[in-house]
Homo-oligomer: A and B are copies of this chain.
């Protein structure tokens, strides 16, 4: 085949895959924002057919032949095409190895598991969820073999969310974090706690919405390309680099909740909006990995959004939105309140300092579940033990314990560590960024332009063009947890006068 013709086919294949992704995203977005309550069945039929068509396309003999040919002629391709072929071939081979009926059965199980998990969580009934959790674990152990039989199962799963990461790397990473953070948390526990009660007055949703619009403006998010919606759980969804949606949830008794979720999701959105145009409609459009994505979201949420200069810069405006609630509260009080560190039960509500310990609990449990050394039925006990050990708190029930997150019921094992990795990547990027950009100065002016420009140049633009580890390395050198620990130690030592 002429190389031009093959490249045309490659483009056409990827555009079709893009179209199926858009369809899926649109139906999903509708489901969680607008759709009437009892409409999931018909939508499920459509979504599963479209997913099947996309998978069929990805694994067809024509696709395989095309990718094999282009792979054999990789020397004739430019970098972008070479990477596309690599990525698509990996997906094609992986999907081909999963028997179609097993894949369908697993998808069906995930749907069912989600329903059961909702019910089990609502009723605080782990016994209800336990058998399905074990089934999910068993499937994932088998699927890990399809993904990469040369790796131990949990390593193969980790690799799906953050390529290049394995237990060895994470064991060392988390051990370093624990050594650095647990003593710090203990010391804080002995200090008088920060008063954050004013964050929990009544904050009407309408004003919070206007405030969210303001925050998006401060972030430099172009509203003609980035929408803001409302869902139970905030998320970011991208159609392409000109069409990204973020959502938030307005808790009328916690102004920080929506505020920091907008900054968080806005960070994800800036990443997607910053990806190069020439990668659009290809498999390289979109952020490269969960970990790198979290590095961006947590950068804006914490490293900038919870920094003193940024809080001071926007605080007069914050007071304008909530004069009744915050008129008598100083910027410093507000800064301290949004940084209050206190061991707690719920990961998504955890503060910047203790957050990673929540992740570690899940990592240790997943590692054992997928490794086959822990059964689903024993998860609650291990959960309680680890929360006591890492965070020093008792877990009163499973609803606020091992049933709190939706990840496992959705079939995602190996996903959690990317939250912690992202936080660490971000701190390392900040350290490197400070050599080029007056970060504190920019934050103090409430002008994030130079910060976003740096991240766009070093991280965003590449999309999936480089491996996650190479993106990190390119931005800030070989990965290490040190900058992250130093950052937290300095911040909290000052904050609590340790």
Chain A residues close to B by CB (< 8 Å): 15-16, 18-20, 22-23, 26-27, 29-30, 33-39, 41-43, 45-47, 49-50, 53, 223-227, 229, 239-240, 242-243, 245, 280-281
Contacts and interface: CB of A to CB of B under 8 A. Distances in A.
A333 B167 CA distance: 77
Contacts of A47: 19
A41 B242 contact: yes
Contacts of A18: 45-46, 49
A41 B277 CA distance: 13
A26 B36 contact: no
Given A242-B39, A243-B39, A45 B19 contact: yes
Contacts of A39: 224-225, 239, 242-243
A27 B20 CA distance: 11
A46 B23 contact: yes
Nearest to A33: B34
What 4 A-B pairs are tightest by C-beta distance, nearest first?
Answer: A23-B23, A22-B46, A39-B243, A19-B49
Interface centre among A23, A226, A229, by most chain B C-beta atoms within 10 angstroms, is A23
A229 B34 CA distance: 8
B27 A29 contact: no
Nearest to A21: B46
A50 B23 contact: yes
Given A22-B43, A27-B26, A49-B19, A36 B243 contact: yes
Given A42-B243, A280-B42, A34 B37 contact: no
Given A19-B49, A23-B50, A26-B30, A42 B229 contact: no
Contacts of A20: 50
Given A16-B49, A42-B242, A53-B53, 4 more contacts: A22-B46, A23-B26, A30-B30, A34-B227
Contacts of A245: 34, 36
Contact of A19 (B29, B50, B240): B50
A34 B27 CA distance: 13
25 contacts: A15-B45, A16-B53, A18-B49, A19-B45, A19-B46, A19-B47, A19-B50, A20-B50, A22-B27, A23-B26, A26-B30, A33-B34, A34-B34, A35-B227, A36-B223, A36-B224, A36-B226, A36-B243, A38-B224, A38-B242, A39-B239, A39-B242, A42-B243, A42-B280, A43-B243
Of A15, A30, A223, A281, most B-chain CB atoms within 10 Å: A30
A168 B240 CA distance: 50
Nearest to A39: B243
A56 to B, nearest CB: 11
A266 to B, nearest CB: 14
B42 A240 contact: yes
Contacts of A30: 26, 29-30
Contact of A239 (B19, B42, B49): B42
A148 B53 CA distance: 33
**Residue of A22, A29, A225, A281 most packed against chain B (CB within 10 A):** A22
A410 to B, nearest CB: 21
Given A27-B22, A49-B19, A43 B239 contact: yes
A11 to B, nearest CB: 12
A49 B20 CA distance: 9
Contacts of A280: 42
Nearest to A12: B49
A43 B280 CA distance: 12
Contacts of A34: 29, 33-34, 227, 229, 245
A35 to B, nearest CB: 7
Select the residue from A26, A223, A242 with max chain B CB neighbours within 10 A.
A26
A23 B16 contact: no
A207 to B, nearest CB: 16
A42 B43 CA distance: 23
Contacts of A23: 23, 26-27, 46, 50
A243 B49 contact: no
A36 B225 contact: yes
A48 to B, nearest CB: 8
Contacts of A42: 22, 239-240, 242-243, 280-281
A474 to B, nearest CB: 27
Given A16-B53, A23-B26, A23-B46, A35 B243 contact: yes
Contacts of A45: 15, 18-19, 281
Contacts of A15: 45, 49
A284 to B, nearest CB: 15
Contacts of A27: 22-23, 26
